[in-house]
Every structure is written in structure tokens, then in C-alpha cells.
Amino acid sequence: MQESVIDIRGLDNAERIKVQLRTEAPKRWQVDDIVALFELPFADLMHRAQSIHRENFDPNGVQVSTLLSIKTGGCSEDCGYCPQAARYHTDVEKQDLMQLEEVLAAARAAKENGASRFCMGAAWRSPKQRDLEPVLKMIQEVKAMGLETCATLGMLKDGQAEQLKEAGLDYYNHNLDTAPEYYGDVITTRTYQDRLDTLERVREQDINVCCGGIIGMGESRVQRAGLLAQLANMERPPESVPINLLTQVEGTPMYGMDELDPFEFVRTIAAARITMPQSFVRLSAGRQSMHEGIQALCFLAGANSIFYGEKLLTTDNPEAETDRKLFDKLGIHPL
């Protein structure tokens, strides 16, 4: 059990019990437990998250990844946030799978800019074998450069995770996106269980899991807590947990939604750190809209991974030089 970081001096016994129940870490996280974390005074929540972060990680070290869209647009899914869905009219242009040399050039540039992991994303519902074969070669070649490899290719069929493992894949990204009870408001073309099945196939091959969600899609605080409970209660929580802030793209169903209060996003980062103390918590999409001060609070709350570079799939991401300047201000070093 984690000790409470809240000063309970001066509270009567009933109040002390209430604080203890709301702040001690259970063996299995209930949604109500995580909602209680969100409801803590901001300073208490940050203190607890930072304390847990320091117990498990270098508090000034951040893992740096670069994400490249190797096949863009034309996806048959109906994810309400995604400009790559073929059914939505956005500015994203469909592009076929990139050639091997183009991908390797991008990987070399990423490594030169300080990235330690290179992630390749393709807008497929589920890759066919003819789709997968050139990606396997990309993974092999990027791995040979000394970079960690990550891929996000959609749902995997039987046998595909084995091929990715043989090619040298280190991480597979497949987000749950949101809580089970809100999922149907976001996506209808694949089920929550479809996503869990892909994650199980990845785990069976002992590939590291990169799995998180998107915040600010109109979900409630309880539903944000529900997403974290799903992640934290996995038999092995994801090694990497990307927390994305919805990037609203004109032409998608979620364009025009009320923007999430930035402090709620920081609270989500802190709750992710507390519930998944040994996972890397990554600031992902939406970071370009965050003031430096909010990003600094996210690092203080336990975020210790970012995507680095000019593009994050199809939405803008702060340039590497901007990130380096922020790291210098905060005394952060890449891992």
C-alpha cells in the first residue's frame, strides 16, 4: 500500500478514514478509486504522483520517440476523431505505403535528433499479408540502426504478431481510446473486444505494449477514470501509455467539441502515473496546443515520454528544436 501524502492532522477519525480510503492504492483499481484521485486537491495529487514517479524513474529523464505515418488516409473505420477515415472530408490526402528508403531516411533523421524509438503508423483497419511484408522489412532495417521499433497497423490477425516479433518489433501500439461505456459514442466499426484481442496477440509474443487513449472527446471524468482502470488492471499494464489530447480536425464528427480544461489533462497524467507506476506515460497528440507551463506540469505529474519531431501522424507536433529548448529550461534530458 502507498502511504497517503495528504496531511491528515486535525481531521476527526471519520474524515481520516475517508481520506485513507480515497488515497491509498488498491491492488486492483476500481473506477471510484481513480475518480477519488481526480478529486484530490491539485497540490496533493501532484505530490503523490511525483513521489511515485521518483520511486520508479529518473525524475528528469524523458524517453523520446518519433512517429512517422508510413501509409496515410483511406481507412475504412469510423473513429470520430480521425481525419484519416475515408468517410470524412478533411484535408488529409490519401498516400500509399512509403518506400523503404524513405522510411529509413526518416529514421536516420530521428536518431540524429535524439530519438531512441522510431514508430511507424499505417492507416489500416487490419493489414493484409501483402501489406505486412514490406513493413517487416522496415522494422528489420530500422532495428539494425540501433533504434527501438514500434508499429501501429490496426487489428492483428492470428500469426501476424509472430511475424512482427521475428522481424524485431519492440513495441506495438493499439489504443483503447476511451472507457468501454463511452466507446460506442466514438467508434462503431470495431468493438472494444477487437482491440483487447489484438493486445492479447501482441502479449502472447512478448512484444511490449503501447496502449492509451484520447482525452477530451466529450467523455466524463468518470469515463476518463474508466479508461485508466482498464489500462491499469491489465495482467501486465502497458509498458508505454500514450495520453492524447483530442486534436480537433474540421470534417470529423468531433470537430467543434468543447475544449478540455488543461488542468483536467494534467490530472489525467497524474492519475495515470499513480495507477501505472512502472509504465512510461507519454504526452502524445495535442501537445502542440499546450502552453509550456502546462507541459511542465505534465512532466511534474509523471509524464516521461514524448513524441518528438514535426509531425504526429497527420497533426502538427512541436518541432524538435522547440522541445530541446523546453528540455533545457526544465533541466530534462532524453533517455
Q: What is the mean pLDDT of residues 83-99?
A: 80
The single-letter code of the amino acid at 92 is V
CA-based nearest residue to 82, from 127, 124, 126, 128: 124
pTM given for the model:
0.86
Neighbours of 16 (CB within 10 A): 15
Q: Which of 24-28, 39-43, 67-71, 167-171 has the lowest mean pLDDT?
A: 24-28
SS3 of 55-96: HHCCCCEEEEEEEEEEEECCECCCCCCCCCECCCCCCCCCEC
Q: How confident is the model at residue 323 (pLDDT cuts 50, 70, 90)?
A: confident
Question: 131-175, pLDDT tens digit by residue?
Answer: 999 999 999 999 999 999 999 999 999 999 999 999 999 999 999
Domain membership of residue 197 (yes or no) is yes
Q: What is the pLDDT of residue 288?
A: 78
Q: Is 150 annotated as a binding residue?
A: yes
Domain membership of residue 24 (yes or no) is no
Cβ pair 318, 287 in contact under 8 A: yes
The CATH code of the domain that includes 223 is 3.20.20.70
Domain membership of residue 1 (yes or no) is no
Can you name the residues that pair with 118 across neighbouring β-strands? 66, 149
Neighbours of 157 (CB within 10 A): 14
- 73 torsion bin: left (phi>0), alpha (psi -120 to 50), beta (else): left
Instruction: Tell whether the model's pLDDT for residue 4 goes beyond 50.
Output: no
Q: Is 210 annotated as a binding residue?
A: yes
Domain total of the chain: 1
Q: What is the full DSSP assignment across 24-67?
A: SPPSS--HHHHHHHHTS-HHHHHHHHHHHHHHHS-TTEEEEEEE
Contacts of 315-319 with CB under 8 Å at 24 or more apart are 315/83, 315/247, 315/249, 315/285, 315/288, 316/288, 317/285, 317/287, 317/288, 318/287, 318/288
What Å distances lie between residue 330 and 45, 62, 320, CA to CA?
A: 20, 11, 15
Instruction: Tell whether the model's pLDDT for residue 11 goes beyond 70.
Output: no
Cβ pair 207, 256 in contact under 8 A: no
Residues noted as catalytic: 75, 79, 82, 119, 150, 210, 282
Instruction: Tell whether the model's pLDDT for residue 37 goes beyond 50.
Output: yes
86 or 177, greater pLDDT: 177
Domain extent, residue 96, equals: 31-334
Instruction: Tell whether the model's pLDDT for residue 313 goes beyond 50.
Output: no
CA-based nearest residue to 323, from 310, 312, 234: 310
Question: 273-303, pLDDT tens digit by residue?
Answer: 999 999 999 998 878 788 999 999 999 999 9
Q: What is the pLDDT of residue 312?
A: 39
Q: Which of 27-31, 87-91, 144-148 has the highest mean pLDDT?
A: 144-148
Average pLDDT over the chain reads 87
Alpha-helix runs per DSSP H in 120-243: 129-144, 160-167, 180-183, 192-204, 221-232
Q: What is the pLDDT of residue 17?
A: 40
Cβ pair 209, 202 in contact under 8 A: yes
The single-letter code of the amino acid at 278 is Q
How far apart CA 262 and CA 298 sit, in angstroms, is: 10
Q: What is the pLDDT of residue 24?
A: 53
| C-alpha of 186 from chain center | 17
Q: What is the pLDDT of residue 309?
A: 57
Q: What is the pLDDT of residue 256?
A: 87
Domain membership of residue 304 (yes or no) is yes
Question: 227-275, pLDDT tens digit by residue?
Answer: 999 999 999 999 999 999 998 888 888 888 899 999 999 999 999 999 9
Domain membership of residue 39 (yes or no) is yes
Q: What is the pLDDT of residue 90?
A: 76
Domain membership of residue 71 (yes or no) is yes
Q: How confident is the model at residue 193 (pLDDT cuts 50, 70, 90)?
A: very high
Can you name the residues that pair with 148 across neighbouring β-strands? 117
Q: Is 119 annotated as a binding residue?
A: yes
Domain membership of residue 308 (yes or no) is yes
Q: What is the full DSSP assignment across 236-296?
A: S--SEEEEEEP---TTSTTTTPPPPPHHHHHHHHHHHHHHSTTSEEEE-TTGGGS-HHHHH
